[in-house]
Amino acid sequence: MQIVSGGVTNVGRVRTNNEDSFRIVESMNLYILSDGMGGEAHGEIASAMAVETVAKHCAETEVDPAMTIFADMPSAWSEKTRRLSSAVHLANKNIFDSAQKNTEQRGMGATITAAWIDGTRLSIAHVGDSRAYLLRSGSLQQLTSDHSLVAEQVRRGILTPAEAERSDMQSVLLRALGAHPDIEVDSEEHTLFSSDVLLLCSDGLTRMVTEPEIAGTLQAEPDPTKASERLVELANEQGGADNVTAIVVRIGEEPKSWFSWLRGGQKKTTAKIGSAGGK
């Protein structure tokens, strides 16, 4: 697989600080996005801690596969899915512990959506209302479920999707890193195919830009960094009510030529890390 990726974060048109953070770890095909919350309780600290903890834990497990796994997980999961979920559990613990030790951080928390690609296998670990999407053959599929009050009300039939979009309760999360000492992490695996496009994004994008607009942008712009930039621009053009972050990962077959053999199948990436410090 040839993987090309890029990411962008922006404060938006309303907020004065950016509580979003993201990380692209090129050498590991690891992609992490976190949206901090807490305002004066330092949501930007929580999101930065989340991406740093996940990136560090995954890197350490590559060196030492015998490292502790911080939760019970199905044995059927791949090693990378288990490790990614373990990293999110550890991030939750680190954020919670930091808030308990520092009174000015009480109330801080963060979402997290992380993806780890191993060959054709995509591992995802997720908490909160940041999202992962997969664009395949022109169809955009949301891979994650929002852990928000309005999303749960839609699932229960209490609200329609249109009513949920207009609700004043969109920012109320039922699950977030740092809120409790233990957390339930949604983890899953998918098979990737050539020409797939993976998008990780904060709700600053999905509240401003429709899914058809997102799909159209990913189809129209083949360069992942430019696609990320355009998605952020669209969010700001349509109000920019929140911080907005996008990571775009494009999957393709490695060219079977003598030149690619000489290159050793190099991966390309841009915009490896982003943070500018909400909900």
Query: What does pLDDT average to over the chain?
Result: 90
- CATH number for the domain that contains residue 66: 3.60.40.10
- Whether the per-residue pLDDT at 91 is higher than 50: the answer is yes
Each residue's pLDDT tens digit, 139-183: 999 999 999 888 888 888 988 888 887 877 778 899 999 999 999
Q: Which of 204, 196, 209, 250 is nearest to 226 (CA)?
A: 250
pLDDT band at 75 (very low <50, low <70, confident <90, very high): confident
**Predicted local distance difference test score (pLDDT) of residue 19:** 96
**Predicted local distance difference test score (pLDDT) of residue 174:** 93
- Whether the per-residue pLDDT at 246 is higher than 90: the answer is yes
3-class secondary structure, 41 = helix
**Predicted local distance difference test score (pLDDT) of residue 255:** 59
3-class secondary structure, 56 = helix
Structural domain harbouring 214: 2-275
- Whether the per-residue pLDDT at 29 is higher than 80: the answer is yes
Are 274 and 245 in contact by the 8 Å Cβ rule? The answer is yes
Q: Which of 192, 254, 197 is nearest to 223 (CA)?
A: 197
Kindly state the average pLDDT of the residues 17-42.
93
**Predicted local distance difference test score (pLDDT) of residue 274:** 61
**Predicted local distance difference test score (pLDDT) of residue 273:** 56
Kindly state the average pLDDT of the residues 102-115.
95
**Predicted local distance difference test score (pLDDT) of residue 270:** 44
Are 198 and 134 in contact by the 8 Å Cβ rule? The answer is yes
How many independent structural domains does the chain possess? 1
Determine how β-strand 2-10 pairs with β-strand 268-269: parallel
Write b or e for each residue in 33-47: b if 16 or more Cβ atoms lie within 10 A of its Cβ, otherwise e.
bbbbbbeebbbbbbb
In order, the DSSP letters of 75-124 are TTS-HHHHHHHHHHHHHHHHHHHHHHH-GGGTT-EE-EEEEEEETTEEEE
Distance CA 192, CA 121 (A): 6
Residue 260 β-bridge partners: none
**Predicted local distance difference test score (pLDDT) of residue 272:** 52
Are 239 and 7 in contact by the 8 Å Cβ rule? The answer is no
Kindly state the average pLDDT of the residues 53-77.
89
- Whether the per-residue pLDDT at 262 is higher than 50: the answer is no
Residue 191 β-bridge partners: 121
Percentage above 90 pLDDT, the chain: 74
Each residue's pLDDT tens digit, 180-229: 999 999 999 999 999 999 999 999 999 999 999 999 999 999 999 999 99
Kindly state the average pLDDT of the residues 241-247.
97
pLDDT band at 73 (very low <50, low <70, confident <90, very high): confident
pLDDT band at 249 (very low <50, low <70, confident <90, very high): very high
Percentage above 70 pLDDT, the chain: 90
Which DSSP category does 148 fall into? B
